[in-house]
Amino acid sequence: MKKTSTRLADGRELIYYDLDETAGKLVRDAVDRRPLDPIGTASEVRADPLLGDAVAIASHRQGRTYHPPADQCPLDPSRGERLTEIPDSDYDVVVFENRFPSLSGDTGRCEVVCFTADHGASFADLDEPHARLVLDAWTDRTAELARHPAVRQVYPFENRGEEIGVTLAHPHGQIYGYPFATPRTTLMLRSAAAHKAATGGGNLFDHVVDEERAAGKRIVLEGEHWTAFVPFSAHWPYEVHLYPLRRVPDLTALDEEQRAEFPRIYLELLRRFDRLFGPGVGRTPYISGWHQAPFLTPGEYAAFGPEAPGAGAPLAREDFALHLELFTIRRTGSKLKFLAGSESGMNVFINDVPPERAAERLREVASS
């Protein structure tokens, strides 16, 4: 992998990630020729005193690009006088600071990850070396953002499909660097701490993976180093969790064997998602995101656990298990799962598709 960093006309950072076979031949010296004013954002994080979580207020996002024509996509390479967010005429993978960030400055950081220069492609269309390059870019950004003074947790994710709310059709994802441990992760850490105390040191994530592998009926796909399953209490119609079999806290801790196998496993999962509802339905909308351990102090991790005598060792960062969660809001070829009263109002999900049936269907559409 070759990494080349540059700056856009308004001062934002942009980084090219190029495949090894092209790295020695490339000189990334294209300049952003757009007449852009310096970025001015007004992100603010406000704490909710009742729920104990936080909301990002980012009014400048009202003006972000919304469903542009295909020939005006800002994520395509720049060619001739058609100038975009990417100054060069081609790229493998590129990451840049979001022009309309939800989080910025002392409230965190938001980045865009373009998976390919091909506007009509999808992640599932990538070959394995290219998918590995995306994994390496995610890993590099996790390591870099871990050193950002305002970032406490890094979340690489992809939203795909207009049904999800995607406003740019080009294959891309995002990386959020949050200034706190997110509410979802906080709940996981509390559960992990309680399990560790109750079992005399057991790991909750290992327990969940072991239980799913023992049961077998919700397993979707297994490799030598990764396992994918529909969780027993899946919230979404079709939801898959992908874990490395050797527990690690984040992407930077994956070993070479895990990295080498990941592209085959992940691409197969995405291709199965696209076959779930038959050839006439089109590509399945989904959200896919990496859950990584936040960057907290040992004392902050210990605070999640019980302080009773004999409770055992406190929770530590290494107790968290990196995993990817992939799900779709489509429940049939013509019906979507909307978050209505119970889900949006009380955060109590109601799933119309039994997880066992979802896993069975995901096995049925395996590549031949």
- Active site amino acids: 172
CA distances in angstroms from 324 to 229, 287, 348, listed in the order given: 11, 10, 22
Is beta strand 93-97 parallel, antiparallel or unpaired with respect to 13-18?
antiparallel
Pick from 326, 329, 299: which is nearest to 314 by CA?
299
Note the Cα 51 to chain centre separation in Å.
24
**How many whole angstroms separate alpha carbon 113 and alpha carbon 157?**
9
DSSP secondary structure string for all residues of 14-27: EEEEE-HHHHTT--
Computed from CA positions of residues 181, 182, 188, 194, in that sequence, does the dihedral angle turn out positive or negative? Answer: positive
Q: Are 218 and 327 in contact (CB under 8 A)?
A: no
Given a contact cutoff of 8 angstroms between Cβ atoms, the answer to whether 166 and 174 are in contact is no
* Alpha carbon distance 90, 149 (integer Å): 33
Local structure of 31: helix, strand or coil: coil
Q: What is the DSSP letter of 232?
A: T
Rounded CA separation 262/255 (Å): 11
The rounded distance, in Å, linking the Cα atoms of 234 and 329 is 12
Instruction: State the CB neighbour count (10 A cutoff) for residue 112.
Output: 24
